[in-house]
């Protein structure tokens, strides 16, 4: 810090400098305000890039590139002893679960293969796969979390058993409820992570209707919004499949 006494002439110079600094300050303030207004009123795209101002969506896409680049399926979600699991799992959201539209007897898991065929599986087919339990802290995008115990078959085991290697070579998996009301898109590395399961049990009991009976997705590396309840179809693609909440302004990736 420097201090010095100046004569009138120099003092005048400093006063002018001060005035210019304030003019620049207010000009930048106005510029910042204009930028803020522009950002808030920026046009919005539709589809999975919908519900958000374009510049924000662009940065979220950039974030997605950063985090999917850093993602490692070797980093496992912390698991807990079963005794820590909540006896009643919280229910949040019922889109795609309309009971009047669901017939459990005719339900099949439809897997759309790359060659156009559909692989149709029953719940027993899924139960033939090795059973895997995961007790983890389920995280909702709203901000709450709960330790819950889920059981099912690893998604990666399904790929192996039904020789879906070609499909798994693609970039994304899309899932939808039987009535197609709810749907998610998930990047392949996340869904192939060993803790991702096609889940048919909660607390060692069959899934309740409101938890997506007969089969739901549990994907601990994502927020709850991606844990689609009552899987109807599974598809594969190299472009991002439709996603219910992304269309409503949420981040597509939502990886934890």
Name the site residues for another protein (rule: CB under 8 A).
1-8, 10-11, 14-15, 17-18, 21-22, 25, 28, 32, 36, 51-53, 55-57, 59-60, 63, 67, 70-72, 75, 77-78, 137, 139-145, 220-221, 245, 248-251, 255-256
Main-chain dihedrals φ then ψ at residue 152, nearest 5 degrees: 175, -160
Burial class of residue 228 (count of CB atoms within 10 Å of its CB; 0-12, 13-18, 19+): buried
Q: Which is nearer to another protein, 126 or 221 (CB)?
A: 221
Q: How far is it, in rounded angstroms, from Cα 198 to Cα 158?
A: 9
**Residue with smaller CB distance to another protein, 2 or 117:** 2
Alpha-carbon gap, residue 57 to 55, rounded angstroms: 5
Least distance in angstroms from the C-beta of 65 to another protein: 13
Give 28 or 204: the residue with its C-beta nearer to another protein.
Answer: 28
| Cα 110 to chain centroid, rounded | 22
For residues 229 and 175, give the distance between their C-alpha atoms in angstroms, rounded to a whole number: 10
Taking the least distance from each CB to another protein, the nearer of 167 and 187 is 187
**Residue 51 contacts residue 42 (beta carbons within 8 Å):** no
- Sort 249 into a burial class: Cβ within 10 Å, 0-12 / 13-18 / 19+: middle
> Taking the complex as a whole, how short is the minimal distance between the CB of residue 14 and another protein, in angstroms?
5
What would the 3-class secondary structure string for 99-154 be?
HHHCCCCCCCEEEECCCCCEEEECHHHHHHCCEEEEEEEEECCCCCEEEEEEEEEE
Closest distance to another protein from the beta carbon of 72 (Å): 8
Containing 199, the helix (H) or strand (E) segment is strand 197-202
State the nearest-atom distance from the C-beta of 232 to another protein, in Å.
25
Q: How far is CA 31 from the centre of its chain?
A: 35
What's the angle, vertex CA 192, arms to CA 200 and CA 59, rounded to 5? Answer: 115
* Cβ at position 175, least distance to another protein in Å: 20
Whichever of 78 and 115 has its CB closer to another protein, that residue is: 78
At closest approach, how far in Å is the CB of 92 from another protein?
11
CB closer to another protein, 146 vs 203: 146
Our CB check for another protein shows the closer of 3 and 124 to be 3
CB of 141 to another protein, least distance (A): 7
């Amino acid at each position: 810090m420097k201090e010095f006494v100046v004569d009138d002439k120099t003092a005048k110079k400093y006063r002018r400098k001060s005035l210019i600094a304030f003019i620049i300050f207010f000009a930048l303030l106005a510029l910042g305000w204009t930028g803020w207004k522009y950002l808030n009123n920026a046009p919005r795209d539709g589809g999975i890039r919908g519900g958000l101002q374009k510049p924000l969506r662009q940065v979220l896409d950039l974030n997605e590139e950063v985090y999917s680049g850093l993602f490692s399926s070797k980093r496992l979600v912390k698991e807990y002893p079963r005794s820590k699991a909540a006896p009643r799992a919280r229910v949040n959201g019922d889109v795609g679960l309309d009971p009047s539209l669901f017939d459990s007897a005719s339900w099949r898991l439809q897997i759309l293969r790359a060659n156009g065929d559909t692989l149709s599986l029953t719940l027993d087919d899924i139960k033939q796969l090795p059973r895997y339990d995961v007790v983890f802290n389920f995280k909702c995008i709203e901000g709450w979390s709960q330790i819950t115990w889920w059981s099912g078959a690893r998604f990666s085991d399904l790929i192996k058993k039904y020789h879906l290697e070609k499909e798994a070579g693609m970039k994304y998996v899309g899932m939808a409820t039987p009535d197609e009301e709810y749907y998610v898109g998930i990047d392949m590395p996340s869904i192939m992570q060993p803790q991702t399961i096609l889940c048919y049990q909660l607390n060692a009991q069959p899934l309740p209707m409101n938890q997506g009976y007969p089969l739901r997705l549990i994907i601990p590396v994502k927020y709850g919004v991606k844990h689609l309840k009552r899987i109807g179809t599974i598809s594969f693609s190299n472009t991002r499949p439709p996603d219910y909440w992304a269309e409503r302004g949420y981040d597509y990736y939502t990886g934890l």
